[in-house]
Structure 1
């Protein structure tokens, strides 16, 4: 079990009068401006690393600020890995791998020594105030949190590598291999520098000695017997890292200061560092580091937001507990919707959270199998404007399941590969939609049911009404119609009847051994023109679901998650082929 901070209670901190949060490995905090989302992050940061809070941090100055939390996953193995003194400080307060802590500041501007950290004694249920070594023990369990705020200090923060800055903390996470690989060599060179510029250097530059001699002649006139030497402190490898800056280069020109760029560039570089951190930390077990980010999507275009979200998701599985505030629907996947906290604020309660979606479902329909729905949706036009490829579809099942199937097939999201999935108002819009997107110089492909190949595709000129495959398919349909109670219209295509729907008729046709080769020929002819035709009639037939509703989609996704795509999907190869076609 990963080490995570779970249940949080914040009292009297800014807008948090009495705020409770249930945290997971990756928790988005969603709410309108000024709801107190950032206050929650700051309170959690203060819990782990105390500082003296001023009067403006107190909701009511006459009352204390208290932040309480449960730390779960404090296993015996983890305790055994701690230094003995720190282990002794906390071990007796851990029960069932849970440690409860609370930090309290009684009055504004209190001295650091007056800010107490308590632990709950599971034997008595009472709080033990400031037991010996407790701060150091918590530091060992939960390393220094990394806080990435909004953009108010981005230029200064992102252009310097200091222990107190966001970028400094990020760089410290992945510069350790550099230190280990080169510290010895660098120290050798620094030692040589020290021998030449320090006051006691054995190879001191002659010019420095000459300056010393001249200055000491003056000193001796004022203070006989006293001498001075110029001295230059040689930096350590830590000093060099702390003094590092980020230079931004474009083309062949010289690097420019980070502050000369806009917030979009600044935020992009911050989030690029987070993505790199996710790459190097993937599947690396270590103590949990708290990563607190205000609005990671700020100034980023939609697909960059998705890349950042996936990086943060990866970090949440690799030694980090991630909390973000966000206004972007793209930062909340259907899976994250379960544990997203909806933040609100009013005069009576201050900042509070609404019931989580996962908890609400369990209250209303206990033990029901549900696939979480998206909390938000972006307009199609927004996606199209930032896309490099557009996928048009008419069916609700494609809209619900294609992003899921895409990731199952290639381990990438459609957004990561810059595909926008756009719902058409009807299949009759396929040609017009493709033409509009072509005029915009946006590559596009369409996904259609089998009936389109014998109706709209002919009307739109993608295939001829007298082409051999169309003639053969319609001829075979006429032959099998009587035996299957299929009613045909005036042009020889299925129509709804009391005995067989048109959709069912096309599924029967698709499964006919004589018709199959001709349907495949039609499929290939349209695919060459950017249109994918479901050869079994519709996507539902390929993935083996009987209805087009939330329950069927949820059950299918649950089966795939548990058993894999190949075991859950009767024609999973067609899904793999579709994804490969979309990617090429």
Structure 2
């Protein structure tokens, strides 16, 4: 069971939001995009409180957050029979839709209503028993904010914080695996009860009880005073649990709050990692605890960030639904990119988000092309943290273009909010570009010159009757024999000759520079860059070897600029085009 859909209305920077959810929900976006507000909205949906005016996007309107839960049948057994009867009329196709609504700012919590959608599509306000039933199936969330004191979550026990959940799981394991020890604890608590109220009662308590009865008799006879001190239960005892830290080599435990933010955050994330392990050992109960974390990577070493990401993913496979905002690509695995939510803030519409890759793929009809796109995007999640996706055909551009851009501008690509995506060939590049357009980006695509001849005409990106294109085809026909390259049935260079096709296109660019440049200029307005010299190496003036590419990149990244290239002006033009 988990939240499958959330709608947010008039909450902080969010005017209106309607978003599908999974069990594992990374949230990315630039600062002030509204990521934390989205997590707060989910927290408010599951944990009732009165919102101040600052939580209303428009104080003159009501604020509400709606959630749809799927798989309700897996958790309804947790409810007593009367609550099951109360909630069953609202379960439609194993789903339950409810919302938290506050009409005006500054009201009391009693005026914050819970409404449930009935089978007729009408909202029913506060049906009997529903709030308690939801609280059992969807307990209060664990909400860890970026700038909160980690001690509130770790150093002191609470029923729904990290340390509280860990102790609960530890005791559940003890009851299952170490019954004798738990029986000893229960027996000790029972013995404590006899010392307070039973046969072995502390004499001073009995004496106090007798003295109180005598004192009362002087004023009102016929009534005895009986003092009962209930023994504490184990659940009550563990509420006083605290955590202290002891540095290795020291015997002096120190309070958690005495350590710096880095240590506190590291311990906090380590315990969340441990929570994943304990949750898997205890097994499924059927309910769904939502964990909301703002920037879990704060203060953590890169290796620790990867470990925390893995732990959160593990938790999502059990009775936990995970939401976290992040600025770190290490928190989002490439295999999670398709379900990651990218938030941004629109001046007119407030916080909004880009369509998920998973749903945008439906715009690509060919299933093989979908597979190619997914494969290409699975190499990296860096594009989630940029605004300018640049799609390249292969590893050569992916390795060289960061150095070219740095040499030409003195800046790194990420400073231009750009990221490189390696496609599975020229056809895949176009599909990826279409996908990013569907997501609201303006992608740019980089091709070798041969794209204009092999792929572009069939994609209606250039007319087969283009005079520059035909001049080049005529040149191929006239020079193939003398230069030693073979032609296919369309009149284009193919493998098998003394000169390979890549070299043939380079020779074409040397022989007809104006025509090749005209073709290049034809594609620039539609965000496609063709290397007018044939391929990038022709402009760099290097051989097509890894050693030559590495040498050029090293010099450019060391501050050598691009003046050592064969055609520095085209490299500067390319960098400006980005």
TM normalised by structure 2 equals 0.59
1:153 aligned counterpart, secondary structure: coil
The residue that corresponds to 2:134 in the other structure is 138
Work out whether residues 20 and 353 of structure 1, in 8 Å CA contact, stay in contact via their aligned partners in 2: no
Q: Matched residues in 1 for 2:60 and 2:170: separation? A: 44
Q: Pick from 10, 22, 42: which aligns with 1:12?
A: 10
Q: Matched residues in 1 for 2:67 and 2:153: separation? A: 29
Q: How far apart are residue 340 of structure 1 and its match?
A: 0.8
- CA 1:234–1:137 in structure 2 vs 1: closer, same or farther (change >3 Å)? closer
The residue that corresponds to 2:156 in the other structure is 160
Q: How far apart are residue 500 of structure 1 and its match?
A: 8.5
Alignment of 1:445-464 (within 5 A): none
Work out whether residues 147 and 166 of structure 1, in 8 Å CA contact, stay in contact via their aligned partners in 2: no
Alignment of 1:497-508 (within 5 A): 498-499=497-498
Work out whether residues 4 and 67 of structure 2, in 8 Å CA contact, stay in contact via their aligned partners in 1: yes
Work out whether residues 162 and 271 of structure 2, in 8 Å CA contact, stay in contact via their aligned partners in 1: no
Q: How far apart are residue 305 of structure 1 and its match?
A: 0.7
Alignment of 1:105-184 (within 5 A): 105-122=102-119, 124-163=120-159, 165-178=161-174, 181=179, 182-184=181-183
Work out whether residues 103 and 115 of structure 1, in 8 Å CA contact, stay in contact via their aligned partners in 2: yes
Work out whether residues 78 and 136 of structure 2, in 8 Å CA contact, stay in contact via their aligned partners in 1: no
The residue that corresponds to 1:271 in the other structure is 269
2:150 aligned counterpart, secondary structure: helix
Alignment of 1:232-311 (within 5 A): 234-252=231-249, 253-282=251-280, 284-287=283-286, 288-311=288-311
Work out whether residues 20 and 352 of structure 1, in 8 Å CA contact, stay in contact via their aligned partners in 2: no
1:152 aligned counterpart, secondary structure: coil
Gaps of at least 5 residues in structure 2 are 386-393, 400-483, 485-494, 503-578
Out of 216-225 and 81-90, give the one that drifted further: 216-225
| 2:315 is aligned with 1:315 | yes
- CA 1:194–1:128 in structure 2 vs 1: closer, same or farther (change >3 Å)? closer
- CA 1:295–1:183 in structure 2 vs 1: closer, same or farther (change >3 Å)? same
- CA 1:194–1:137 in structure 2 vs 1: closer, same or farther (change >3 Å)? closer
- CA 1:228–1:91 in structure 2 vs 1: closer, same or farther (change >3 Å)? closer
- CA 1:396–1:136 in structure 2 vs 1: closer, same or farther (change >3 Å)? same
Q: How far apart are residue 21 of structure 1 and its match?
A: 2.4
**C-alpha deviations, 1:314-367, integer Å up to 9, x for none?**
111122211111111101111111011111124422221122222333335664
Q: Matched residues in 2 for 1:231 and 1:82: separation? A: 33
Q: Matched residues in 1 for 2:289 and 2:307: separation? A: 21
Q: How far apart are residue 218 of structure 1 and its match?
A: 12
Q: Pick from 376, 379, 382: which aligns with 2:382?
A: 376
- CA 1:343–1:227 in structure 2 vs 1: closer, same or farther (change >3 Å)? same
In angstroms, what is the RMSD of aligned CA positions? Answer: 3.7
**C-alpha deviations, 1:5-28, integer Å up to 9, x for none?**
122111112222212222111111
Q: Pick from 71, 83, 88: which aligns with 2:69?
A: 71
Report how many aligned residue pairs link the two structures.
386
Work out whether residues 169 and 279 of structure 2, in 8 Å CA contact, stay in contact via their aligned partners in 1: no
The residue that corresponds to 2:29 in the other structure is 31
Work out whether residues 146 and 169 of structure 1, in 8 Å CA contact, stay in contact via their aligned partners in 2: no
- CA 1:208–1:69 in structure 2 vs 1: closer, same or farther (change >3 Å)? closer
Q: Matched residues in 2 for 1:219 and 1:227: separation? A: 10
| 2:376 is aligned with 1:351 | no
Work out whether residues 27 and 323 of structure 1, in 8 Å CA contact, stay in contact via their aligned partners in 2: yes
Work out whether residues 12 and 55 of structure 2, in 8 Å CA contact, stay in contact via their aligned partners in 1: yes
The residue that corresponds to 1:361 in the other structure is 361
